[in-house]
């Protein structure tokens, strides 16, 4: 062995014990995977919050139309406002479903909007207001949504 010729491994066999470089490579790869995973999760949650805010904009329009339908004395105008209110909730539903797919904490809003075809809007008002209040206040998707319970369907419980 000549000093200065060859690799450090040749001169000093203990300079790179077998497997150390491989372990360091795997550790770096695992670390990068974790960093990318956390980063992408943050992007998905941010996108979900944006979708929820869009859905809640439609919910707010729907609730305003619903209230207007209750205030007017013109039956034709009231019916038109209720129809438009239903359309706004139907527009909000796929946005909430997409958000719930990206961040599961928005599933309550999606579920409440899904009940729109089964329950009158009057039964959904409180739940929709509570669930959208979180998004409108700028809460992060990690915020726990209020627990809301939907009333029984008209005519009582199924099978009874």
* 90 closest CA partner among 113, 109, 57: 113
User: Residue 154 falls within a domain, yes or no?
Assistant: no
User: Residue 153 falls within a domain, yes or no?
Assistant: no
Range of the domain at 76: 22-136
Kindly report whether the global pTM for this prediction surpasses the value 0.85: no
Helices (H), 12-152: 20-71, 75-102, 107-114, 121-136
- The model's pLDDT over 55-94, given as tens digits with 9 standing for 90+, comes to 999 999 999 999 999 999 999 999 999 999 999 999 999 9
User: Residue 11 falls within a domain, yes or no?
Assistant: no
User: Residue 51 falls within a domain, yes or no?
Assistant: yes
Q: Tally the domains of the chain.
A: 1
pLDDT tens per residue, the chain (160 residues)? 555 555 555 555 555 566 666 666 666 666 555 554 444 444 446 788 999 999 999 999 999 999 999 999 999 999 999 999 999 999 999 999 999 999 988 999 999 999 988 999 999 999 999 999 987 776 654 555 455 555 556 665 555 4
């Amino acid at each position: 062995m000549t000093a200065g010729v060859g690799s450090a491994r040749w001169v000093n066999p203990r300079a790179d014990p077998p497997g150390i470089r491989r372990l360091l490579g795997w550790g770096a790869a695992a670390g990068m995977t974790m960093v990318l995973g956390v980063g992408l999760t943050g992007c998905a949650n941010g996108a979900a919050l944006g979708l929820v805010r869009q859905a809640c904009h439609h919910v707010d329009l729907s609730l305003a139309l619903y209230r207007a339908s209750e205030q007017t004395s013109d039956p034709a105008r009231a019916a038109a406002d209720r129809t438009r209110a239903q359309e706004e909730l139907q527009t909000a539903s796929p946005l909430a479903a997409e958000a719930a797919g990206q961040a599961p904490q928005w599933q309550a809003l999606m579920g409440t909007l899904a009940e729109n075809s089964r329950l009158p809007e009057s039964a959904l008002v409180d739940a929709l207001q509570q669930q959208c209040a979180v998004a409108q206040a700028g809460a992060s998707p990690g915020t726990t949504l209020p627990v809301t319970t939907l009333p029984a369907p008209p005519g009582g419980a199924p099978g009874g």
